[in-house]
Amino acid sequence: MVFMNSRLTLLAFSTVAMSCGGKAGPRPRQTDGPLPTRAPSVPAPAPCEDASKVPVDLETLVGLRLSDDDLKKIQFFASKHMLLERQIASGEVAVQEHKVIVKNGVRFEQVELDCLTPGRLIRAESERDGRPYGILIVSYEKGSSGLIYGPGGEDSRSHRHRFELADGASISEQDGVKYEGHRYHKVCPGAYESPEWYQCWSGHELLMEARR
């Protein structure tokens, strides 16, 4: 990554001790309806094993007072493989760049991001009380509206709040992920809440490149 000023260099150095992965994300709340399952043929996401990429955390951004322009100069990355899917209503036109599959006569639109897919900031938004960096909206596709990342719970090792894939205050399986004006759900292997499923579902953090 090419840093445009010394403050951004400090951002990389301050987070380099944090490795890809770490704590699991918020646990999805139980739903009243049938529990979703995923076909065993869906491959498990490959682990992210690049020591040069580090999680973005709230404390560093606040301490350096980075502006939107500063953040737009940073190359962000998806921390792990992600497959998003939504059912397409009858007569609805799917997004041209996305894959469309048919299951049991029903059409589904899929968006797939590989581990370490590069992305750029579209914009940062403050909390309602005025605190900065309430969410970061990052685009991984040309012209897309981006995915929303928000500060997660405090990490027990670093005591920092890493930015995780979110949708406002909730990233539950029930609510799904907001993207391109639609709600998508993560496609994961294994039965709902199995170790394999939970490993796929959780821990989608926002990464950046750092120099040692």
Tens place of pLDDT for every residue, the chain, 212 residues?
A: 333 343 333 333 344 334 344 444 444 443 333 334 444 445 555 556 788 899 999 998 998 888 889 999 999 999 988 888 889 888 887 776 788 889 888 999 988 888 899 999 999 998 877 888 999 999 987 767 788 899 988 988 889 999 998 753 334 445 678 787 788 888 887 777 788 877 777 888 999 987 55
Q: Which DSSP symbol is given to 77?
A: E
In sign, the C-alpha dihedral spanning 11, 168, 91, 84 is positive
Q: Can you state the percent helix, strand and coil of the chain, rounding each to 5?
A: 15, 30, 55
What pTM was estimated for this model as a whole? 0.69
192-202 exposure pattern, b = at least 16 Cβ within 10 A, e = fewer = beeeebbbbbb
Provide CB contacts within 8 A for 183, sequence distance 6+: 86, 175, 176, 177
Q: What angle do CA 9, 144, 172 make, to 5 degrees?
A: 85
Give the per-residue pLDDT at 143. Answer: 65
